[in-house]
Amino acid sequence: MTATPCDADQGLVGALERVVGESFVLTDPDLRAPYEVDWTRRFHGSARLVVRPKDTDQVGQVLRCCHEAGAAVVTQGGNTGLVGGGVPDRGEVVLSLTRLDDLQEVDTLAGQVSVGAGVTLARVQEHAAASDLHFPVDLAARDSATIGGMIATNAGGIRVLRYGSTRAQVLGVEAVTVDGRVLTRMDGLVKDNAGYDLAGLLTGSEGTIAVITRARLRLVPRLQHRVVALLALDSIEVAQKTLRRVRTAMPSLEAAEVFFADGLDLVLEQTSATAPFAAPHPVYLLLECAAREDPTEELAAALEEVEDLLDVAVGTDAESRARLWELREAHTAAISAAGVPIKLDVSLPPARIGAFLARLDDVVAAIEPAARSIVFGHLGDGNLHVNLLGADPADYNLEAGVLGLTTQLGGSISAEHGIGRAKVAWLHLQRDPTDMAVMSAIKRAFDPDGRLNPGVLFPRR
Ligand code: 2HG
Ligand code: ZN
């Protein structure tokens, strides 16, 4: 462990200033403000200070100083999380990792790259593309979301059906323990069964057991030829049948996203996007295929088999593909422009999606008649984003109702966004007492005093 200036007399602020430099310890309320509220504006709190180290060694020293001072720490990346897991609650130190933005040279032989936790997803994607490789996780917040946050939350996104979630791309991590020790598993060995898979354990741990500072990522071959099709359909059942058919016919399918008439209306109202069809339709299914050869003909042939296709728009060049994607990706921003939503992120067995959607509005109306739901998501993964507008964001009954419906139908209360602070009260719907006891034991082994992200994943002690 590196010697630190923690035992200096100046208290925590002075000690941290000596570690990272004065300008990277923010105590002024105006400077702290952007770190104290999440993207949704639903979760906010106050931070004792914000500290911005530049590398792993400084993260180690910062954590050691906080440990010695008994200070709780909330780790923050790009602050694009949607469940309040990266913002302070009650005067914690915010440890912002955006300066850890080092990109190593791509290892083309292994098809891997090592990157700092603070590198944005878009930069990793561009860096891989420059070596004719591809980092296969993708999501709308790509310009701000950081790799560290994506690993901490096991981010999903739009290409899970082909490549898996972030976990499937993490070959190693470096992380710092609550008392400042550095844990390094960065060899990138594809086969390595020598003991517990610590990188796997840290993936999805939401900053509660250690602070991820670097990662070794898997890259895949870059597929140059892409086609996007937006299908207009009559019902979710037809969308699911269509998806099954295309999935079977086309191994090149890499995204299958769903949205509905009310969500598209909101997008058209709140953004500069233009309507894809002359008339509105009940359900929209957006498909993207990517291959070494142009998959357009193959997709057209697969779609010829689809009965009940009300309309279709196809994008073959980058611009027309982006226009179709915008209709789906702008949902989050359009909803946020209309109010502060209650965001639920559920997954369901495919056979239960119809029942969930059929019952959702009744469940919501029975609890809060003024609320309305906008649903969209990753149909290929059975993952629906349920956004409730027009309700008090602090109304926990609505969450209880919708998450209760989800678990009754055999689904998950968090498909990809994590538990954060938002879903702690509902975790018992999903994990039984034995699960919870094992998870708590792991938490205690890493963080005996509960100082890493208190109130996230587990209730406050
Ligand atoms: C997406 O799929 C994100 O675009 C955000 O997971 C979902 O805004 C949401 O509810
Ligand atoms: Zn999503």
The number of C-alpha atoms within 13 Å of 89 and in the hemisphere containing its C-beta is 18
**Over the stretch 299-341, which tens digit does the pLDDT of each residue have?**
999 999 888 999 999 999 999 999 999 999 999 999 999 999 9
How far is C-alpha 115 from the geometric centre of its chain's CA atoms? 18
DSSP state of 44: B
Does residue 332's CB lie within 6 angstroms of at least one atom of ligand 1?
A: yes
How many residues belong to the chain?
461
Confidence band, pLDDT 50/70/90 cuts, at residue 5 = confident
Q: Calculate how far, in angstroms, residue 267's C-alpha sits from the geometric centre of ligand 1.
A: 14
Average of per-residue pLDDT across 45-56 = 98
Q: Calculate how far, in angstroms, residue 448's C-alpha sits from the geometric centre of ligand 2.
A: 33
Counting from 1 in the atom list of ligand 1, the atom nearest the Cα of 385 is 10
Contact 108, 102 (CB under 8 A): no
Provide CB contacts within 8 A for 391, sequence distance 6+.
342, 368, 370, 371, 398
Average of per-residue pLDDT across 167-178 = 98
Is residue 31 over pLDDT 70? yes
pLDDT at 4: 57
Does residue 153's CB lie within 6 angstroms of at least one atom of ligand 1?
A: no
CA distance 271 to 289: 26
Contact 194, 185 (CB under 8 A): no
Counting from 1 in the atom list of ligand 1, the atom nearest the Cα of 416 is 6
Q: What integer best gives the mean pLDDT of the chain? A: 96
Average of per-residue pLDDT across 74-96 = 97
**Over the stretch 276-307, which tens digit does the pLDDT of each residue have?**
999 999 999 999 999 999 999 999 999 998 88
Q: Which residue's CA is minimally distant from atom 9 of ligand 1? A: 332
CA distance 88 to 82: 14
Does residue 385's CB lie within 6 angstroms of at least one atom of ligand 1?
A: yes
Is residue 8 over pLDDT 60? no
Q: Calculate how far, in angstroms, residue 256's C-alpha sits from the geometric centre of ligand 2.
A: 12
Ligand nearest to the CA of 341: 1
**Over the stretch 360-409, which tens digit does the pLDDT of each residue have?**
999 999 999 999 999 999 999 999 999 999 999 888 899 999 999 999 99
pLDDT at 395: 85
Confidence band, pLDDT 50/70/90 cuts, at residue 189 = very high
Does residue 42's CB lie within 6 angstroms of at least one atom of ligand 1?
A: no
**Over the stretch 73-83, which tens digit does the pLDDT of each residue have?**
999 999 999 99
Does residue 177's CB lie within 6 angstroms of at least one atom of ligand 1?
A: no
**Over the stretch 199-243, which tens digit does the pLDDT of each residue have?**
999 999 999 999 999 999 999 999 999 999 999 999 999 999 999
pLDDT at 160: 98
Q: Which residue's CA is minimally distant from atom 10 of ligand 1? A: 385
Q: Calculate how far, in angstroms, residue 162's C-alpha sits from the geometric centre of ligand 2.
A: 15
Does residue 76's CB lie within 6 angstroms of at least one atom of ligand 1?
A: no
Q: Which two tokens stand for residue 376?
A: 């969209």
Ligand nearest to the CA of 326: 1
pLDDT at 168: 98
Is residue 3 over pLDDT 70? no
Does residue 140's CB lie within 6 angstroms of at least one atom of ligand 1?
A: yes
Q: Which two tokens stand for residue 434?
A: 């034995």
**Over the stretch 110-150, which tens digit does the pLDDT of each residue have?**
999 999 999 999 999 999 999 999 999 999 999 999 999 99
Does residue 343's CB lie within 6 angstroms of at least one atom of ligand 1?
A: yes
Does residue 387's CB lie within 6 angstroms of at least one atom of ligand 1?
A: yes
Q: Which residue's CA is minimally distant from atom 6 of ligand 1? A: 157
Q: Calculate how far, in angstroms, residue 313's C-alpha sits from the geometric centre of ligand 2.
A: 23
The number of C-alpha atoms within 13 Å of 50 and in the hemisphere containing its C-beta is 25
Is residue 1 over pLDDT 50? no
pLDDT at 342: 95
CA distance 339 to 40: 9
Q: Calculate how far, in angstroms, residue 138's C-alpha sits from the geometric centre of ligand 2.
A: 10
